[in-house]
Amino acid sequence: MNIRAIIFDLDGVICFTDRYHYQAWKQLADRLGIYFDEKINNRLRGVSRMDSLNIILEQSSKEYSEEEKSIFAEEKNGIYVKLLNQMSTSDLSDEVRETLEALRAAGYRMAIGSSSKNTKLILSRIGLAQFFDAISDGTNITRSKPDPEVFLKAAEMLHERPENCLVVEDAKAGIQAAYDGGFYSAGLGEAAGHGHVTWPIKEFSDLKRLLIS
């Protein structure tokens, strides 16, 4: 094992924007008269915007055209971006910041691998705009997790092979993507229970124990 780089999912790993996603989808669903709750919202974790919309529209008796769906997705994103402007450096925990700094000091290259198209905005709001060596996100991929594309592109940006990279995820779809792409993985939360996770971890700071001798 020769891990030289780390690829982090963003939401649920580096920071938490779940409540903003939920509020934005809820506003859209309420306007369309579609039932939406926390249980449905949990199915959207790690899923692209359009795939998330299609999951929500399963509750609708009406069929919508692709053009209408695109409008809905942009409406949701507009609400979400406004909510994201409430974020600040206080949304980056001391644990995450200190762990990232320790990993950087230990010589690891680091990237973000997220399906979010708002990755750069979020990183800017929490004070990490210039921290990562590469950002692979929803603006440069065509397939969302569990497809490994976002991680493969991050590894390519880092000029590293998958077998030399560790993916850090909190969603099972992300662990599956890492496994299918040939990456090592560390799983937080529900991701720790995935059958193919390399290392289940309880806290973000466990990465120091795992990677720094």
Q: What is the CATH number of the domain that holds 205?
A: 3.40.50.1000
Q: State the catalytic residues.
A: 9, 11
Q: Tell me, what's the pLDDT at 44?
A: 87
| Final residue before a domain boundary, out of 84, 105, 140 | 84
Three-state SS annotation for the chain: CCCCEEEECCECCCECCHHHHHHHHHHHHHHHCCCCCHHHHHCCCCCCHHHHHHHHHCCCCCCCCHHHHHHHHHHHHHHHHHHHCCCCHHHCCHHHHHHHHHHHHCCCEEEEECCCCCHHHHHHHCCCCCCCCEEECCCCCCCCCCCCHHHHHHHHHHCCCHHHEEEEECCHHHHHHHHHHCCEEEECHHHHHCCCCCEECCCCCHHHHHHCC
Q: Tell me, what's the pLDDT at 16?
A: 92
Name the stretches of the chain with pLDDT < 70: none
180 in the same domain as 98: yes
Retrieve residue 112's tokens: 């973000």
Retrieve residue 47's tokens: 């899923």
52 in the same domain as 11: no
80 in the same domain as 110: no
201 in the same domain as 107: yes
71 in the same domain as 31: yes
Q: Tell me, what's the pLDDT at 15?
A: 96
Q: Tell me, what's the pLDDT at 202?
A: 97
- Measured distance CA(180)–CA(138) in Å, rounded: 19
Q: Tell me, what's the pLDDT at 121?
A: 94
Domain containing residue 204: 5-15+91-211
- Measured distance CA(66)–CA(77) in Å, rounded: 16
Q: What's the pTM?
A: 0.86
| Final residue before a domain boundary, out of 84, 102, 135 | 84
Q: Tell me, what's the pLDDT at 47?
A: 80
